[in-house]
Homo-oligomer: A and B are copies of this chain.
């Protein structure tokens, strides 16, 4: 659906807030080019050959160091790590290993689309909880779980899925209190939590929050991450951090899925991490994202500040703002007006686990230059006016 919607997002003059792809000019292409040449020639016995299913041992070493730096996770070993083809494969393998058809999985509304589509292949039933400004509505979480307990289905609730920082699509970060509350519930009902954190390192203001895995331990939490946002997406490197028995099951599932990830891209990331401090290298990108987010917030205030009931999130990091129109409006219906104005977004409907209509939209600020962000939001206001007129409101 999204592909169909964004079909014209690349036409000349279009401004797209649709995609979540990073700006390619932020990628360290010279460094990667030099390393690529070197490892294909000198390490060809590894880089051009099959790898092991678990992933390049050299990259695993670097990932363990990075997990210490980013999350303060100590004492992990190689057997706690699986390297995947992007975090999409991590989501898919988690689904394969944990979900049987008919099982329950708790997800947010809105929720990351890639997770929904990965899990859907296993035909689960989604237990949906609303997202508030500081994370899941905990009363709703409790209520849903009690319902499952009463109907005797609680042991078929396989896990709670959550993007803990700067959620895609909402930009919402789950507070420490809610992280702890989720863990308490997981403990009480013996549930796993799948914590997905592709955006956590892209924090441009506020304080780093402890990950759910750091708070809850590896027995209770599976942590997913990716190099797509901190290095580049083209290498397709995702990471699963989990208890050893879970990793072993995921490795078996990956073996049947693609045998192993490409050796070349894994070793390329390994040597890059060895030589450069990736967390330092991305600082300019983070600063750029901060400026772009500020621009989008200002543009929204200027263009939609007068619309009663319109609101937007103001994330401390990541790539997305969740922009909500008054309830009467439907961002899927409005899309054709926006398209005519050559401005693109993703209607909120795409991120609802049960496909209901939505008055929200996902606005990605990472790719357009700052002046285009202002112009794009102006065009959006114009589209909104035309849509409003067409509805006679």
Question: Which A residues are closer than 8 A to B by beta carbons?
Answer: 21-22, 24, 27, 29-30, 32-34, 36-38, 40-41, 44-51, 84-86, 88-89, 92, 96, 101, 114, 117-118, 120-121, 228, 232-236, 253, 255-265, 268
Contacts and interface: CB of A to CB of B under 8 A. Distances in A.
Given A92-B256, A265-B265, A49 B232 contact: yes
Contacts of A44: 24, 27, 29, 32-33
Which 6 A/B pairs are nearest by Cβ-Cβ distance? A37-B37, A33-B40, A33-B41, A48-B232, A48-B234, A29-B44
Given A121-B96, A234-B50, A30 B41 contact: yes
Given A21-B49, A24-B49, A33-B38, 8 more contacts: A24-B45, A29-B44, A34-B37, A48-B232, A49-B234, A85-B258, A114-B256, A257-B257
A37 B33 contact: yes
A262 B259 contact: no
Contact of A48 (B27, B49, B84, B92): B27
Contacts of A114: 256, 259
A137 to B, nearest CB: 27
Contacts of A258: 84-86, 88-89, 92, 236, 258
Nearest to A254: B88
Contacts of A120: 256
A40 B36 contact: yes
Contact of A121 (B30, B236, B256): B256
- Interface of A, secondary structure class, is helix
Nearest to A50: B233
Contacts of A47: 234
A234 B264 contact: yes
18 contacts: A21-B50, A27-B44, A29-B48, A33-B38, A34-B37, A48-B233, A84-B258, A85-B258, A86-B259, A88-B258, A89-B258, A92-B256, A96-B121, A114-B256, A118-B256, A234-B264, A236-B258, A265-B265
A85 B49 contact: no
Contact of A257 (B37, B92, B232, B261): B92
A258 to B, nearest CB: 4
A234 B263 CA distance: 5
Contacts of A234: 46-51, 262-264
A85 B262 contact: yes
A86 B88 CA distance: 17
B32 A48 contact: yes
A89 B253 CA distance: 12
A54 to B, nearest CB: 11
Instruction: Please indicate which of the listed interface residues A22, A46, A258 has the most CB atoms of chain B within 10 Å of its own CB.
Output: A258
Contacts of A88: 256-259
A115 to B, nearest CB: 10
Nearest to A52: B3
A86 B262 CA distance: 9
Nearest to A123: B101
A114 B86 CA distance: 22
Contacts of A30: 41
A233 B44 CA distance: 11
Nearest to A36: B36
A233 B49 contact: yes
A337 to B, nearest CB: 27
A41 B35 CA distance: 11
Contacts of A36: 33, 36-37, 40, 264
B24 A85 contact: no
A309 B24 CA distance: 64
